[in-house]
Structure 1
Amino acid sequence: MENRKCHIVIIDQDYNYLRTYEEELIRKYSVSAEIQIITDPGYVDAYFSTAQDIDLLIIDEDSYGDGEFLREHTVGKIFLMVREIRSDLTCHDEVKVLLKYMPAEELFEQVDRVLLRVDTPASGLVEKNKKNTRVVGVYSPIGGCGKSLVCVALARKLKMLDQKVLLLACDPTQSMSVYYPSDVHAGEELAEKLKNPDDDTYWTILQNIGRDEVSYLLPFEKSLPSMNITHREIEALIRTLINKQDFDFIILDIGTTLSHEISQDLNKINSLILLTETNVIANKKMQKLLHDPDLLPKCDCILVANEMHSDGMRLSRDSIFGTIAPYQHWEEALDDPVFYRIALKVTE
């Protein structure tokens, strides 16, 4: 079947009403949807005289009537716009009753939910720009060695390579958020959706993504353990993002804790950046990790050394992918050449 855009049809005899939505509607959805607006009652009959395949029909109650004229057509979802909600109004499952004069942003929120669900070939919606989503984890048994900085720096370089990236902090305190440009937090509704997923879970995820130079999932105000968010919820979140294929890369700040349960989840990632430091203490911690190799995921492993806290120790150039030079300010470290090399490596 030939791919096509999602088909949205809007029918309302009150053009003055439609004018309040029309400009924003077209600006917001014209890239992802074919939008058809009908205000002439006579044209409604002519339009439905031939078989129609519609993903979303937004229609006023006068034009809808009893809806019998739609039986011969394929309509995925119907928004029936009414002046007031009546207790005696009964509709089929595919019909959602909405107040006609609801705020525009609330109507668009409902449209967004439909478009997120209509994403299979059978629906006729083109799977536009679907990504082969790859996951890169950043881990170290060493606290304070720059894992979060590596995540942010790598995301910036991947964006320079025209990759769509999402940053995701998985450690208990979501420490990567200190590098985010705002103090906005994820809503508690997201936590509930991760624990009890439903059809709206992905929509809720998208509503909790911050967008700056690169995109990032908003951190919770509380720690993950205090909200009863475990590795199971994080794994389900990552799986959902991979399945939706809206990002080229998801970059995980794994933190310093690596249990066998978390390790099993990490076996699904594509690449692991293992971060160490050039000092004796860090080397001892790394050696302890290497004594339990089953903890490390079975994927491409990129060993990088941060020289910020160096005590003069030198690592064999054959054993590491590259080093991060010491910088006076963390903003300068974001442009270290090693991050561009890593970006090229993970995009191979």
Structure 2
Amino acid sequence: MGKARILLVDQDEKFLMPLERKFIDEFGEQFEIMVITDSDYLKEFFSNPQSLDILIINEALYDRSLERHNIANIFILSEKIIDETYTGALDNNKIYKYTSVKEIYNEVINTSAVTMNPNMKSDGETRVIMVYSPIGGIGKTTLSMGLCAALSKYHKRVIYIGTDNLQTFGYFMNNKITLESGVEKQFVTQKEHIYSVIKPQIVTEGFDIVPPFMKALSSLSIKVSDFINLIDSIKKSNEYDYIVVDSGTDFSEDTSKLMGMANNTIVLVGQDKYSVHKLECLMTNIDYSDKNKFSFICNKYKIEEENSLISEDFIRKCLISEYVNYEKRIETMNCERLSNLNGLQKISYMFI
């Protein structure tokens, strides 16, 4: 498979440098990345037929004649804030130039038709993202599944692991299979080789999923510590960019250990007074001072209802990173539809 060709065009070299670095860091071995800052050289470059997978070009340098070339995806950098109602004649994508490098990169990769080589391995360490809440029914599994799907859309290798005692996350799977009978014994005894035992049963639905156990974990003598062992084994394989762990709502010693091994912990909260009280109880039992590790997100937010998270006392203790609006039909959504929710896409940006 040949390298994808990407061309960045802008007269501001300082602007292009971090954008070029972002593409190199993510897909350097898969992309042939070119940069043009001189308008005369731009004309010379396109004086011959060119074939590109992605062209990112400043609006002032764009010319309709470029469409005669074989360019799969054209992104135009505008120096004016984009009007979302814009329906101009061009089919090309417009991006506000002065947004963040991360957002430009995400827009390009998410929108373009470039197919990344799935066999390419990231040099970065596998990151463990734990999704936890002390509150039942807050949508922890829904958000975890949606986050996996959103990250996979950015060509990240993602695996979902559910650790709830009663494993009901199969509801969101198209292929509602469970782990084969007998695996539970190996899950507990084959600690060093547990990933090799589980790996053949992993299913893929846009991202990888360790299927649920049919019976409650407590009846199978499976503990969170066994999942910690599996997560550590998968992490050492370096076969994934992200392991998303959907944890239970209890706060045990093993839950604390799981938080300790996670690179990032998302704590889901509600806006009502009782949910805030439960969150405050949790906060007295964990060290959440590392703002890069802990993110507090309000799920199922309803703007018309009282928001106890903005009380003066609570704001001094905790900053809410994102509010995810309540969706009436979210329970009927599959993973693909979940990944398209604006709130979940914003959360995925936090980790890319």
Task: Give unmatched runs, 5+ long, in structure 2.
Answer: 1-118
Match of 1:339 among 328, 337, 344: 344
Match of 2:246 in 1: 253
Match of 1:177 among 160, 163, 170: 170
Contact 2:301 2:323 in 1 (8 A): no
1:334: Cα distance to partner? 4.5
Q: 1:147 to 1:198 in 2, by over 3 A?
A: closer
Match of 1:322 in 2: 322
Alignment: residue pair count: 221
Q: 1:128 to 1:160 in 2, by over 3 A?
A: closer
| Aligned equivalents of 2:290, 2:229: Cα separation in 1 | 18
Residues 113-155 of structure 1: per-residue CA shift (max 9 Å, x gap): xxxxxxxxxxxxxx97266211000000100000001101111
Q: 1:268 to 1:344 in 2, by over 3 A?
A: same
1:338: Cα distance to partner? 2.6
Contact 1:325 1:333 in 2 (8 A): no
| Aligned equivalents of 1:223, 1:299: Cα separation in 2 | 34
Match of 2:71 in 1: none
Match of 1:129 in 2: 121
| Aligned equivalents of 2:183, 2:120: Cα separation in 1 | 26
Residues 214-273 of structure 1: per-residue CA shift (max 9 Å, x gap): 210010110111110012211111111111111111101112012123202321110011
Alignment TM-score, normalising by the size of structure 1: 0.58
Q: Percent of counterpart pairs with the same letter?
A: 21
Match of 2:133 in 1: 140
Deviates more, 1:308-317 or 1:193-202: 308-317
Match of 2:232 in 1: 239
Kindly provide the amino acid, as one letter, of the partner of residue 121 in structure 2: N
Q: 1:299 to 1:223 in 2, by over 3 A?
A: farther
Kindly provide the amino acid, as one letter, of the partner of residue 172 in structure 1: N
Cα RMSD of the aligned pairs, angstroms, is 2.6
| Aligned equivalents of 2:193, 2:272: Cα separation in 1 | 48
Kindly provide the amino acid, as one letter, of the partner of residue 323 in structure 1: Y
Task: Give unmatched runs, 5+ long, in structure 1.
Answer: 1-126
| Aligned equivalents of 2:145, 2:191: Cα separation in 1 | 31
List aligned pairs for 1:71-220, cutoff 5 A: 129=121, 132-197=125-190, 201-220=194-213
| Aligned equivalents of 2:195, 2:293: Cα separation in 1 | 29
Contact 1:141 1:289 in 2 (8 A): yes
Alignment TM-score, normalising by the size of structure 2: 0.57
1:208: Cα distance to partner? 1.6
| Aligned equivalents of 2:328, 2:254: Cα separation in 1 | 38
| Aligned equivalents of 2:243, 2:153: Cα separation in 1 | 15
| Aligned equivalents of 1:309, 1:177: Cα separation in 2 | 27
| Aligned equivalents of 1:184, 1:259: Cα separation in 2 | 29
Deviates more, 1:272-281 or 1:259-268: 259-268
Match of 2:85 in 1: none
Q: Rg: which structure is higher?
A: 1
1:190: Cα distance to partner? 2.4
1:176: Cα distance to partner? 2.3
